[in-house]
Structure 1
Amino acid sequence: MDAFTGEIRLFPFTFAPQDWAYCDGSTLTVQQAPALYSIIGNLYGGTPGQNFKLPNLNGRAAMGAGNGPGLTPRPTGTAVGEDQVTLLPANMAGHTHAVQVKVGGDTAAAVDTPTSTSYLSQPRNVLLYNATQPVAGGPTLAPTTVSQAGQLAPGSSVPRSTLQPFLTLAYCICINGEYPLRP
């Protein structure tokens, strides 16, 4: 099958075939590829009438243009996403972790399988949970029993990679092929 001018394909080798160019954001003059310019114009950048840029798919995944239910519209030529982001407390959903504790002296109400109303108690054999509510002013845990996790010191942040697993192939665009006719 002959390629259409402007068609993008993936290639598993280390060169762009004849009449193809890497989709690497390179700038071409209109005189170098007038047919391709007539199809993609300055959709990916450049100076109208003088030069234009090829799509840049280096380090990117191709995404279908358009929109769908609950999705943000994505016109052709739009580049979105980041290689890494810095997660801050504002990025985390609010949540709590309740710790309910009592002295393990109540053996009559001890349970082997905890529920949402069971209280953590000190070890006695294998019974670690108790369903009886502790009295006010009851036992307290050592300050090191429960500590903060999953957050850095206030004001600090660390970038986190957002790259999915990948295999590198060469995206190439056809510069000189069969001219696609519009319906």
Structure 2
Amino acid sequence: MDAFTGEIRLFPFNFAPMDWAYCDGSTLSIQQYPALYSILGNIYGGTPGQNFQLPNLNGRAAMGAGNGPGLTQRPLGTAVGADVVTLLPGNIAPHTHALQVKDGTDSTSSLDEPNTSAYLSQPRNIRLYNTTAPVAGSPTLAVGTVGSTGQLTPGSSAPRSTVQPFLTLAYCICLNGEYPSRP
């Protein structure tokens, strides 16, 4: 199958075939590749009238240009996104987390099986990792050792990866092929 000038394909080997180049943002001379320049222009960078850049797909996923229902406009040649983001408290919507604590002052009897309103601090007849049941009523948290308030600060300011799972292949662009006719 012949390729069109400017066509981009994925290759599973470690070289760009003859008349193809890696989509790595390289700068090419307009004089050397006039057909490719007539298709790409300076969409991906370069100096008009002197040189142009190939698309740079290193570390990027390709996405269709334009927009769809409910989507934002994505012009051709626009690079968007980052490998790492830092989430700060100001980036998180205000919210609360309720916490209920049972200490040794509660006289409610222990349950053999937890239910939706039970606390897990006083198991009875539970053989989770052992064939012998624990002593009834234990463990009980000592009075005053568990507070009724606490604080959680969301967004630790640590950078977090946003990279989806991937397999690296070589994106290459055809430098000299069949010239695509415009409609």
Common fold: TM-score over 0.5: yes
Structure 1 segments unaligned to the other structure (5+ residues):
128-138
Q: Deviations over 1:114-165 (max 9, x none)?
A: 1xxx4748526379xxxxxxxxxxx76624996637553xxxx221111111
Distance in 1 between residues matched to 2:84 and 2:5, nearest whole Å: 34
1:89 maps to amino acid = P
Q: d(CA) in 1 for partners of 2:101 and 2:30?
A: 74
Contact 1:99 1:120 in 2 (8 A): no
Other-structure match for 1:148: 152
Please list, as runs of the form range in 1=range in 2, the aligned pairs for 1:8-157 lying within 5 A after superposition. Answer: 8-101=8-101, 103-107=105-109, 112-114=114-116, 118=117, 120=119, 123=122, 125=124, 142-143=146-147, 148=152, 151-152=155-156, 157=157
Partners of 1:14 and 1:121 lie apart in 2 by 57
Question: How many pairs were matched up?
Answer: 165
Contact 2:10 2:172 in 1 (8 A): yes
* RMSD, aligned α-carbons: 2.9
Q: Unaligned 5+ residue runs, structure 2?
A: 127-142
The residue identity in structure 1 corresponding to 2:99 is V
Q: 1:96 to 1:141 in 2, by over 3 A?
A: farther
Identity %: 68
Q: TM-score, normalised by structure 1?
A: 0.78
**Which AA in structure 2 matches 1:142?**
V
Instruction: Report deviation, 1:80.
Output: 0.3
- Residue 177 (str. 1) matches residue 170 (str. 2): no
- Hey, what does 2:129 align to over in structure 1? none
